[in-house]
């Protein structure tokens, strides 16, 4: 793909993000609307997009790649976790920040940023790989991620406890995970959806890309901009999240993976900004909510420059 086409596609996505940011700052809609749109994406449009993107003719080689991809995903999360253990020694986190920093290193913004960028750069067929790669995310977010954030509550005198918040099976087995399992089952069984079902699902799925960028912009508009730019720790954390880790991953995997799309999906997901759920879970489990929100803001803003750079390397 031509480099100018890649830049144009990514630029379009961030124009949508900017529109969401400005609309929220102008109070065209409120936080309740933002949360509602967020739920529509996660529970309706993204699952529809996932299932439709996995409506491919059964291919043994594709099945083999899927198993390999899942294995690489698990190994990547293990490596990220080990790296996150060293982060506190480098950044010297303040009260309630340790678990937040570790969470940011391990979990990237796949659903809202990863899927739109991957579709724009590599096309809709690449979403099949992205959906498989992202399978461990939801399980680890509500297990390992929660454990990391809970450690902040022990040392935090200002944060509030989770008010009896409990992890439920519905959080782990959410619509995103169910849609991947269902879509993959249809692929393996070589079952094609009838057009009367597939067509409305395609229409719903197509909403995901613009709406997700719009919502990200709205979420960023709720946070303090100035404080995000004055915390030196966040710059190091963001550099690791957006450039250092994906580049290390690319240098290692390019020697073993010939499929450019396969490799590109892995590296781009690794190079996404901090997960949008970071401040939500930090608040629920006693982490530093403000720092978590700032990390999402700063990493998302700087990803405007780093994502095109990664995309140009990969295509």
Q: What is the pLDDT of residue 167?
A: 55
- Residue 1 pLDDT grade (very low, low, confident, very high; cuts 50, 70, 90): low
Q: What is the pLDDT of residue 143?
A: 79
Give the tens place of pLDDT for each residue, 4-44: 666 777 778 778 888 998 999 999 999 889 888 888 888 89
Q: What is the pLDDT of residue 161?
A: 46
Q: How many separate domains does the chain show? A: 1
Give the tens place of pLDDT for each residue, 104-147: 999 998 877 888 888 888 888 888 888 888 888 877 887 788 88
pTM strictly above 0.75: yes
The percent of residues in the chain predicted with pLDDT above 90, rounded, is 25
CATH number of the domain that 41 lies in?
1.20.1530
- Indicate if the pLDDT at residue 165 is higher than 60: no
Q: What is the pLDDT of residue 219?
A: 79
Spatial distance between the Cα atoms of 138 and 135, rounded to a whole number of angstroms: 7
Q: By residue range, what is the domain housing residue 47? A: 3-314
Q: What is the pLDDT of residue 3?
A: 61
Q: Do residues 98 and 153 lie in contact, with contact meaning Cβ atoms separated by under 8 Å? A: no
- Residue 171 pLDDT grade (very low, low, confident, very high; cuts 50, 70, 90): low
If you average pLDDT over every residue of the chain, what do you get? 84
Q: What is the pLDDT of residue 290?
A: 80
Mean pLDDT, range 236-248, rounded to an integer: 94
Please choose, from the candidates 213, 180, 150, the residue with its C-alpha nearest in 3D space to the C-alpha of residue 51.
Answer: 180
- Indicate if the pLDDT at residue 237 is higher than 90: yes
């Amino acid at each position: 793909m031509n480099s100018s086409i890649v830049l144009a596609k990514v630029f379009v996505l961030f124009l949508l993000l900017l529109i969401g940011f400005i609309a929220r700052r102008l109070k065209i809609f409120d936080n309740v609307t933002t949360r509602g749109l967020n739920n529509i994406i996660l529970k309706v449009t993204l699952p529809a997009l996932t299932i439709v993107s996995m409506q491919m003719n059964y291919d043994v080689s594709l099945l083999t790649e899927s198993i390999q991809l899942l294995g690489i995903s698990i190994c990547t999360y293990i490596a990220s976790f080990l790296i996150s253990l060293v982060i506190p020694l480098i950044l010297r986190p303040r009260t309630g920040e340790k678990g937040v920093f570790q969470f940011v290193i391990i979990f990237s913004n796949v659903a809202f940023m990863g899927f739109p960028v991957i579709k724009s750069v590599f096309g809709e067929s690449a979403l099949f790989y992205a959906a498989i790669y992202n399978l461990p995310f939801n399980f680890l977010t509500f297990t390992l991620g929660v454990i990391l954030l809970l450690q902040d509550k022990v040392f935090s005198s200002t944060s509030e406890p989770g008010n009896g918040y409990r992890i439920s099976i519905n959080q782990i087995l959410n619509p995103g995970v169910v849609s991947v399992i269902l879509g993959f089952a249809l692929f393996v069984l070589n079952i094609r959806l009838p057009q009367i079902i597939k067509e409305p699902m395609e229409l719903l799925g197509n909403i995901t890309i613009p709406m997700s960028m719009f919502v990200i912009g709205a979420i960023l508009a709720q946070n303090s901009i100035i404080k995000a730019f004055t915390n030196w720790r966040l710059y190091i954390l963001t550099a690791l999240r957006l450039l250092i880790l994906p580049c290390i991953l690319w240098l290692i995997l390019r020697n073993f993976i010939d499929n450019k799309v396969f490799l590109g999906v892995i590296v781009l997901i690794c190079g996404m900004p901090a997960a949008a759920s970071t401040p939500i879970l930090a608040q629920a489990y006693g982490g530093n909510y403000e720092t978590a929100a700032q990390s999402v803001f700063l990493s998302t803003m700087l990803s405007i420059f780093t994502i095109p750079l990664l995309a140009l390397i990969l295509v």
